């Protein structure tokens, strides 16, 4: 239908609180092609909630509305749970922040990958096992046979996250949503995990939504970046143009980072403006994208 994998228009997520409804996401619109799209913001900016809304993971009493929420032209909004489950893990997969909480501690790694894959594919045990070993090899686990029979507590954090990626990519999804996939990992492991994700996404022509608080990392890893503030997208940028960001919030975030390459006497402190909450989204600077 369209060349967009995911198309979102005016997405809103709200929760009831004692003082009325709180809108965590307030009218987010974007399209995702076969690209790496970064979504950046601070805690409470609604970036994770946007990802969860796409996957239909917002639990009641949370409420999701949108003018459009489509995957390849198919509506995703308010699907019955049974159909959503088929899409989730089949056509869209998600990698969470901490593998410790997403892997079942009492099941071997291999069995979990097989389970994930067989939910969406019919195959014999031997075939499934073969596929799982292939997936482990694909995420550059040197000794797939050993890891296949290991339990989650027997593997390191970086290895766990690679296993998660293997599991999520096993059914060949069209879109991968990664929510802070590397923030629980050490920097040296982080690079490796990012490399793997990068290669797999590119080779398979998938779309990637990369949710993170780390502006620099996202600008280096992604093609395009959306900056979120208080439940809205305040600016859209080509990743390489991050230094040309025009929104004071984006600039403020960049300036508040301590730098490794030069001495800064005092870090710039972000002065939040109420006007940012309502302002229109800033389009990419001319010549960008």
* Interface with another protein (CB under 8 A): 17-18, 42-43, 157, 186-188, 190-191, 194-195, 198-199, 213, 215-217, 220-221, 252-253, 256-264, 266-270
| E runs forming strands in 122-231 | 175-179, 207-212, 224-229
Smallest separation (angstroms) from another protein to the CB of 274: 16
| Structure-derived torsion over alpha carbons of residues 187, 171, 9, 246, reported in degrees to the nearest 10 | 20
The H or E element containing residue 30 is: strand 20-32
Please state, in angstroms and rounded to a whole number, the distance separating the CA atoms of residues 188 and 91: 31
Smallest separation (angstroms) from another protein to the CB of 145: 26
Please state, in angstroms and rounded to a whole number, the distance separating the CA atoms of residues 66 and 78: 10
Smallest separation (angstroms) from another protein to the CB of 57: 20
Nearest Cα to Cα of residue 109 among 67, 161, 148 = 148
C-beta of 270 vs 279, nearer to another protein: 270
Smallest separation (angstroms) from another protein to the CB of 157: 7
C-beta of 82 vs 266, nearer to another protein: 266
Smallest separation (angstroms) from another protein to the CB of 260: 4
| Structure-derived torsion over alpha carbons of residues 129, 134, 140, 141, reported in degrees to the nearest 10 | 20
């Amino acid at each position: 239908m369209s060349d967009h994998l995911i198309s979102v228009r005016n997405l809103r997520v709200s929760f009831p609180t004692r003082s009325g409804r709180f809108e965590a996401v307030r009218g987010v619109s974007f399209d995702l092609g076969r690209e790496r799209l970064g979504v950046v913001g601070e805690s409470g900016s609604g970036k994770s909630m946007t990802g969860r809304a796409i996957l239909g993971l917002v639990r009641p009493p949370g409420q999701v509305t949108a003018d459009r929420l489509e995957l390849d032209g198919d509506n995703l909004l308010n699907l019955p749970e049974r159909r959503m489950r088929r899409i989730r893990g089949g056509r869209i997969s998600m990698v969470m922040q901490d593998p410790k909480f997403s892997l079942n501690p009492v099941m071997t790694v291999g069995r979990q990958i097989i389970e994930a894959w067989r939910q969406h594919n019919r195959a014999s045990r031997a075939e499934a096992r073969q596929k799982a070993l292939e997936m482990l090899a694909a995420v550059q686990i040197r000794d797939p046979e050993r890891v296949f029979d290991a339990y989650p507590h027997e593997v390191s954090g970086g290895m766990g996250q690679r296993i998660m990626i293997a599991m999520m990519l096993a059914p060949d999804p069209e879109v991968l949503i990664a929510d802070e996939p590397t923030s629980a990992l050490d920097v040296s492991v982080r690079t490796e995990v990012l490399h793997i994700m990068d290669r797999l996404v590119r080779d398979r022509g998938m779309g990637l939504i990369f949710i993170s608080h780390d502006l620099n990392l996202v600008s280096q890893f992604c093609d395009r970046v959306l900056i979120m503030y208080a439940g809205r997208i305040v600016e859209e940028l080509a990743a390489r143009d991050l230094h040309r960001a025009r929104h004071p919030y984006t600039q403020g975030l960049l300036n508040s980072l301590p730098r490794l390459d030069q001495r800064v006497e005092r870090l710039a402190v972000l002065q939040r403006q109420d006007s940012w909450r309502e302002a229109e989204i800033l389009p990419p600077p001319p010549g960008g994208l």
